[in-house]
Structure 1
Amino acid sequence: MTRPVVAIVGRPNVGKSSLLNRFAGRRVSIVEPTAGVTRDRITVPIEHDDRHFDLVDTGGLGLVDENLLKAHIEAQIETALAHADLVLFVVDHKDGCVPGDEFVAQRLRRLQRPVLLVVNKVESHLEGLTVSEWAKLGFGEPFAVSAVEGFGINDLLAAIVDVLPARKVDEAVDAPPMLRFAIVGKRNSGKSTLVNRLAGEERMIVSEIPGTTRDAVDVVFEWEGKRLCAIDTAGLRKKRSIEHAIELFSMGRAQDSIRRADVVVHMFDVREELSQVDKKLAHFYLELARPVLIVGNKIDLAESLDLEKWDSYVKQQLPGLHFAPVSFLSAKEGTNVAGTLGVLLELHAQAGLQVPTPRLNAFLQEARTRLVPKSRGRMPKVFYGTQIGTHPLSLVVFVNDVTLFRGHNYERYLANAFREHFGAHEVPVRIVFRDRQRAPRGAGSTGRAPQGGGDGIAPPRPQDDAQLPD
């Protein structure tokens, strides 16, 4: 990656994350009126006036953190500054210049980087006339902005582009990753450690303190010539155990990450039993029809580990994911990380399977000879089907009466048979039954199944409004 890097720096709670969200045009960082919400580095690509750069949100300098993470947070900030081509020093106009701002200014004066002073929370041009007092910090004429309202943002963007290093030939936004996978699980199961292992640096703060990660952070990396994106999410626990609004926001971000992921890595600590949180997460994955790789972490800390027994135990505890593969690794030591990535790519390939309609209907004819839903009175009949989507695999099957197929295990039987027949052994299959629409008399219908790759049928609506159960 050769794009310039712009780092946002300032004391806690001056609006750094709000500024990042304003530039990105979406809510990337959690914004909450509590100091120290942002802990990890969060990076988004920005394009303005035909220039591209990476904008990095950082934690607050000088944070007094009750969880003793100050050193970790400041190490993340130092890493961001070391890679930055330009620094945005953000201050809060409503608070005025406070000792925390002076502390940050002293740090930045020692930095051999250009700095733009950004005075945030200025609501109007008239109020903007009063920001000149901030020039005493020694970073030139300040830029008055309101990250929330958007005031002054275009002027700031223009200034950033002017200060950026000379254009590089290949600074355009990189091609999107071929695979996005969300790493999900209970708190302190090792999710951030795995992300750091994949990124080859301490990209995420890792601590024995549960709940260290709050934002969902995308980390793009290369593996065997493939561009992948790992989404680290906040550790989850029962809703009634949530203590702060920030944790509630984090849970929402984790759910959003699962929705936009191609594959989910469900991580657990092999030293602990699976809990109700794990089981509820499994239900959530099934509602969204996301492929899942179940990963047992920290095998280096387990005194003894019978992998076959663990595999059986996991499938017993998470019966809805009986088809999902199970992998065991040590994110800290790197044991079997490469093998786990290989399984991820295989899951992605299975979820992208495309079955020609003739082959699918030959399968349906064979499947219905083996099992037909039981019904009193009218006989259930399967006519034909067609594949209507991948990622997730989605089929529509036309029948004589959909009510005859409700409340039966036929959908589960058909999904299992499809996986076995077509080699998509480890991914979910979404099946929708629909009544066959008879053509009007004289329309020349042959009653045959369609032979093409599709018939214009809309795919079933994904359950993207699914929520984690309480």
Structure 2
Amino acid sequence: MSSPDPYRIAIVGRPNVGKSTLLNRLFGSRVSIVEPTAGVTRDRIGVRVELPCYNRTRVVEVIDTGGIGIVDRHDLGPHVEEQVRVATMAADLILFMVDVRDGVTPLDVEVARRLRGLSKPVQLVCNKADTEKFNWEVDAFRRLGIVGEPIAISAQNGDGMVALVERINELLPPVEGEAERFRPSLKLAIVGRRNAGKSTMVNALAKEERMIVSEIPGTTRDAVDVILERDGHTIVVIDTAGIKKKSSFDDPIDFFSDTRSYRAVRRADVALLLFDATAPLSGLEKRLARYVVDHHKPLVLGANKWDLARGKMEPEALETYLATQLPGVPWVPLSFLSAKSGWHVEETFRLCEELFEQSSLRVGTGELNRVLERALQAKNPSSKGHRVQIRYATQVSERPPRILLFVNDKRLVTKDYLRYLENRFREELPFKEIPMHFVLRDKQDAVLEET
């Protein structure tokens, strides 16, 4: 009996965004080539590759397309239409690639407009994000209107490939014989300084229920995924080596171990920041906490080794201390635990699950706008002679809750006012302990879409 045809993944985008480099990365670093085949047209090529899929591998066909728009800008219409049509006609999943260094271009807008009408999943992939600076630029591409979280990668050096492969597995149907229960319902990153007790925490969570411990092939610098079966659900706990001061790096391995923590945050649904309750909070931990929140990920602060600190410090004193060290995020929950003894480990994990559930909620547009109206009445956004109008709000996605605000001119909306809105929304909506992500949209965005 012949095996079923593999799922097809088409890589689409304008010229020079790195489509071929991504194909080569998937082709070479993801275990093995199964069968190279000629493309349907001269500017398309497909290869069959193996991708890690939870506790096994899956074969997919990845199709590279010629760059969209290798013609004069005014003649784009038919060319773009044909390229997108041919590339996506037989595909089960579209990877829409853009170049984070170039920012949003008119060609990106044109491709996005055509992809938004498809009835199949589209994943936005922001390439060439090989430094933290460019990782921050990813949010600008949300204006393209592609549903879901964009993924930042560097196809050249492999950064972000684990997150991309995970997302591919989520968007494609399970492989034959693969039960849905192997799809993780929660990805929890345990991060912090070295010797904070992260590995001990992983072991405490795993117990005898531990199923698989594996490092994804070809990604030796990435975090180790521990897959756990709990209450009928599959949980992925991302273990990290921990962060340390750059001045104390001994070799390149230290550099990769450090960046591993930040990459784990971007992959995760929730981050648990473990710190030693017997020691002062360091600048590294403060920076890591800020990174989690700035990337709109739910955060739990885990005061580990509390059995050693108890008697020397009251819980209220630690809460007050943390409020001074981490201003601006008083809504982040704190859990006292001892990973070594197992005390409050389960409670801490349940708290992480609660935050995951909060981030998965969707609020109706009517309720959202009633809260917005009350917030606007209490505090007007206009200032310095500029009239700011926030006309409408709608939640467009979850994990994290992403709220689109339609305004007259997004340049006039200050960060302080967005923080005010977030606090008001947190008071009245079921997002009490998680960050929200506000995206502004004005007339200029609409004009770009129509060009």
Relative to the length of structure 1, the TM-score reads 0.54
In the alignment, what sits opposite 2:334? 326
**Cα 1:49–1:237, aligned 2, differ >3 Å: closer, same or farther?**
closer
Residue by residue over 1:42-69, the C-alpha shift from the partner in whole angstroms, topping out at 9 and shown as x without a partner, is 996333799xxxxxxxxxxxxxxxxxxx
Contact 1:185 1:236 in 2 (8 A): yes
Of 45, 52, 56 in structure 1, the residue corresponding to residue 55 of structure 2 is 45
Shift of 1:196: 0.5
Specify the code of the residue in structure 2 equivalent to 1:379: R
Bigger fraction of residues in strand: 2
SS of residue paired to 1:300: helix
Specify the code of the residue in structure 2 equivalent to 1:47: T
Of 347, 354, 361 in structure 2, the residue corresponding to residue 353 of structure 1 is 361
* Counterpart check, 1:409 vs 2:416: yes
Contact 1:286 1:320 in 2 (8 A): no
In the alignment, what sits opposite 2:227? 220
**Cα 1:347–1:281, aligned 2, differ >3 Å: closer, same or farther?**
same
Contact 1:297 1:328 in 2 (8 A): yes
Specify the code of the residue in structure 2 equivalent to 1:194: M
In the alignment, what sits opposite 2:292? 285
Q: For 2:249 and 2:384, locate their aligned partners in 1 and report how far apart those are by CA, in whole Å.
A: 49
SS of residue paired to 1:229: strand
Contact 1:282 1:320 in 2 (8 A): no
Q: For 1:173 and 1:424, locate their aligned partners in 2 and report how far apart those are by CA, in whole Å.
A: 28
Q: Any unmatched runs of 5+ in structure 2?
A: 1-27, 34-51, 61-175, 211-219
Q: For 2:59 and 2:416, locate their aligned partners in 1 and report how far apart those are by CA, in whole Å.
A: 57
Mapping of residues 178-327 of structure 1, within 5 Å: 178-200=185-207, 216-304=223-311, 305-327=313-335
Bigger fraction of residues in helix: 2
In the alignment, what sits opposite 1:394? 402
In the alignment, what sits opposite 1:377? 385
Q: For 2:191 and 2:424, locate their aligned partners in 1 and report how far apart those are by CA, in whole Å.
A: 29
Contact 1:385 1:397 in 2 (8 A): yes
Percent sequence identity over aligned pairs: 41
Residue by residue over 1:234-283, the C-alpha shift from the partner in whole angstroms, topping out at 9 and shown as x without a partner, is 11012222111111111222222111100000000101110100111122
In the alignment, what sits opposite 2:76? none
Contact 2:196 2:276 in 1 (8 A): yes
Q: For 1:355 and 1:264, locate their aligned partners in 2 and report how far apart those are by CA, in whole Å.
A: 23
Shift of 1:427: 0.2
**Cα 1:214–1:190, aligned 2, differ >3 Å: closer, same or farther?**
farther
Residues matched between the structures, number: 279
Q: For 1:194 and 1:360, locate their aligned partners in 2 and report how far apart those are by CA, in whole Å.
A: 38
Q: For 1:429 and 1:295, locate their aligned partners in 2 and report how far apart those are by CA, in whole Å.
A: 21
Contact 1:214 1:233 in 2 (8 A): no
Shift of 1:391: 0.7
Contact 1:180 1:263 in 2 (8 A): yes
In the alignment, what sits opposite 1:98? none
Larger Rg: 1
Contact 2:54 2:182 in 1 (8 A): no
Contact 1:23 1:46 in 2 (8 A): no
**Cα 1:375–1:335, aligned 2, differ >3 Å: closer, same or farther?**
same
Q: For 1:295 and 1:48, locate their aligned partners in 2 and report how far apart those are by CA, in whole Å.
A: 36
Specify the code of the residue in structure 1 equivalent to 2:196: S
SS of residue paired to 1:373: coil
Specify the code of the residue in structure 1 equivalent to 2:419: R
Residue by residue over 1:116-148, the C-alpha shift from the partner in whole angstroms, topping out at 9 and shown as x without a partner, is xxxxxxxxxxxxxxxxxxxxxxxxxxxxxxxxx
Q: For 2:194 and 2:234, locate their aligned partners in 1 and report how far apart those are by CA, in whole Å.
A: 27
Q: For 2:222 and 2:58, locate their aligned partners in 1 and report how far apart those are by CA, in whole Å.
A: 25
Residue by residue over 1:445-469, the C-alpha shift from the partner in whole angstroms, topping out at 9 and shown as x without a partner, is xxxxxxxxxxxx9xxxxxxxxxxxx
Contact 1:24 1:46 in 2 (8 A): no
SS of residue paired to 1:319: coil
Shift of 1:308: 1.6
Q: For 1:335 and 1:421, locate their aligned partners in 2 and report how far apart those are by CA, in whole Å.
A: 33
Shift of 1:404: 2.0
Contact 1:265 1:295 in 2 (8 A): yes
Q: Which runs of 4+ in 1 moved over 6 A?
A: 169-173, 437-440
Shift of 1:202: 12
Contact 1:282 1:321 in 2 (8 A): no
Contact 1:350 1:424 in 2 (8 A): yes
Contact 2:181 2:232 in 1 (8 A): no
Shift of 1:302: 2.3
Q: Any unmatched runs of 5+ in structure 1?
A: 1-19, 26-41, 51-168, 204-212, 441-456, 458-470
Contact 1:185 1:235 in 2 (8 A): yes
Contact 1:386 1:397 in 2 (8 A): yes
In the alignment, what sits opposite 1:175? 182
**Cα 1:24–1:363, aligned 2, differ >3 Å: closer, same or farther?**
farther
* Counterpart check, 1:431 vs 2:438: yes
Mapping of residues 110-149 of structure 1, within 5 Å: none
Residue by residue over 1:296-334, the C-alpha shift from the partner in whole angstroms, topping out at 9 and shown as x without a partner, is 101122252311211221122111332110001011111
Specify the code of the residue in structure 1 equivalent to 2:387: M
Contact 2:223 2:264 in 1 (8 A): yes
Contact 1:372 1:410 in 2 (8 A): no
Q: For 1:315 and 1:24, locate their aligned partners in 2 and report how far apart those are by CA, in whole Å.
A: 50
Contact 1:214 1:234 in 2 (8 A): no
Q: For 1:303 and 1:293, locate their aligned partners in 2 and report how far apart those are by CA, in whole Å.
A: 20
Specify the code of the residue in structure 2 equivalent to 1:197: A
**Cα 1:339–1:48, aligned 2, differ >3 Å: closer, same or farther?**
closer
Contact 2:406 2:440 in 1 (8 A): yes
Mapping of residues 66-145 of structure 1, within 5 Å: none
Contact 1:196 1:202 in 2 (8 A): no
